[in-house]
A = this chain, B = another copy of it.
Amino acid sequence: MIHVRPERFLQDLHTLRQFGAAGVGKGVVRPAYSHPDIAAREWLAQRYEEAGLEAHFDPVGSVWGLAKGPSLLVGSHSDSQPEGGWLDGALGVICGLELARAAQEAGGPPVSVVSFQDEEGRFGVTTGSRVWSGATDLKSADRLTDTHGLTFADARARMKHLAGGFVDYKRFTGFLEAHIEQGPWLHEAGEAVGVVTDIVGIRDMRICFEGEQNHAGTTPMHRRKDALQAMARFQTLIADRFRNVVTPQTVWTTGHVDVHPGSHSIVPGRCTFSMQWRDGERERLDRMEAIVRDAAGEVAADGGFSVSISDMVGLDPVPMDARMQAALGEAAEDIAPGRWRRMQSGALHDAASVARLMPVAMLFVPSINGISHAFAEDTKESDLVTGLRVMGSAVERMAVAFAA
């Protein structure tokens, strides 16, 4: 019987946040391959060894604690956003460490741990787990660059002295990832645990309206082809048309906007902007795509603009394994009765990559006020411990279920 020890788990979580401590609340600055990130991974390797696991770095810097024989893999990532919170993926990594340690102490079931590298996408998107799962090949990944032009190849060379080969995925029966929710749903409902049903799919593109750059003093309004105004009309139009298609969980975002030439006194000739939407159902993502393309075309035709749409990046929704979900649900009902729910993950996680190789499941704990990717990110320690206990109970249930 796995017996998790909350004080040890919390102690390790607090120790980990010393690596790259921002000095603002509990925040951390620990982007992939930074000095604090590498130091944290070396510390993790040492903790794995102390827990009776075999520590191992793979070619991209993901750090593994391997149990002997077939095992359940538990983990997440310990790199952070440029301005990150102390939990985020670190929660899942230390949760894995405590479960592996407690499992070693209990004589089973065997649990291995991982902290994937660059989940936060300094280079790609969930880069470490995507390379390991084969979603991206290492040669392509090596050409990725961060915003300063550093290549992934040069970044991972910083951990070359630690690196061994890739870990054979066949030794794992499944992958279990704990993470903060990053949204407000659990916090608003006063619930302690979310059992993830699906990781939503994403569609992401860049749209460019091209009108006529002109003098802002001498060009009458009726003669203008103002590309910024085209973008604003597009936003209004899609919000209106999405209304009968979306669910309360569906989201869409324009996060990046470039207005050319960007002068107070020049009517914008070109506006390029990002358009991203996420939903748990592939069919809805497709219907939204049709609305986006139609709306962009209509705005262009009505105003005499030309419109171009970039290649679309698409990640389909990833369903969590039914048996693992069931084990998490039973454990949650046992440990936090009435204080948990099934829910989608609106954010992408390493589990989405690993699902290419094996059954995966995820558990969420609340984010206070829904804040994440910010120094202010936090979760009540009682909720962290509840999450850990549900994970421990679920690991035992999975061992039984998988053996059956």
Contact = CB atoms under 8 A, between A and B. Distances in A.
B220 A184 contact: yes
A252 B222 CA distance: 12
Nearest to A264: B274
A265 B226 CA distance: 26
B253 A216 contact: yes
Interface string A319-355: 0000000000000000000000000011110000000
A217 B347 contact: yes
Contact of A248 (B217, B222, B231, B278): B222
Interface in A250-297: 250-257, 259, 261-268, 274, 276, 278
Given A214-B370, A346-B218, A267 B248 contact: no
**What 8 A-B pairs have minimum CB-CB distances, sorted nearest first?**
A183-B218, A216-B253, A217-B346, A182-B218, A217-B347, A218-B346, A232-B232, A264-B274
A85 to B, nearest CB: 11
Contacts of A299: none
Interface of A: 181-185, 200, 202, 204, 213-223, 226, 228-229, 231-232, 235-236, 246, 248-257, 259, 261-268, 274, 276, 278, 345-348, 367, 370-374
A278 B217 contact: yes
Contact of A251 (B216, B251, B347): B216
Contacts of A262: 255-257
A347 B268 CA distance: 17
A182 B223 CA distance: 13
B278 A219 contact: no
Given A215-B372, A228-B257, A249 B220 contact: yes
Number of copies of this chain that the complex holds? 2
Contacts of A371: 214
A184 B259 contact: no
13 contacts: A183-B220, A185-B220, A216-B253, A217-B347, A218-B346, A219-B346, A220-B249, A221-B246, A222-B248, A223-B370, A232-B232, A255-B266, A264-B274
A264 B274 CA distance: 6
A251 to B, nearest CB: 6
A214 B14 CA distance: 24
B253 A267 contact: yes
A202 B217 contact: yes
Contact of A218 (B181, B274, B276, B374): B181
A268 B251 contact: no
Query: Among A182, A217, A372, A374, which residue has the most Cβ atoms of chain B within 10 A?
Result: A217
A220 B248 contact: yes
Contacts of A367: 218
B264 A253 contact: yes
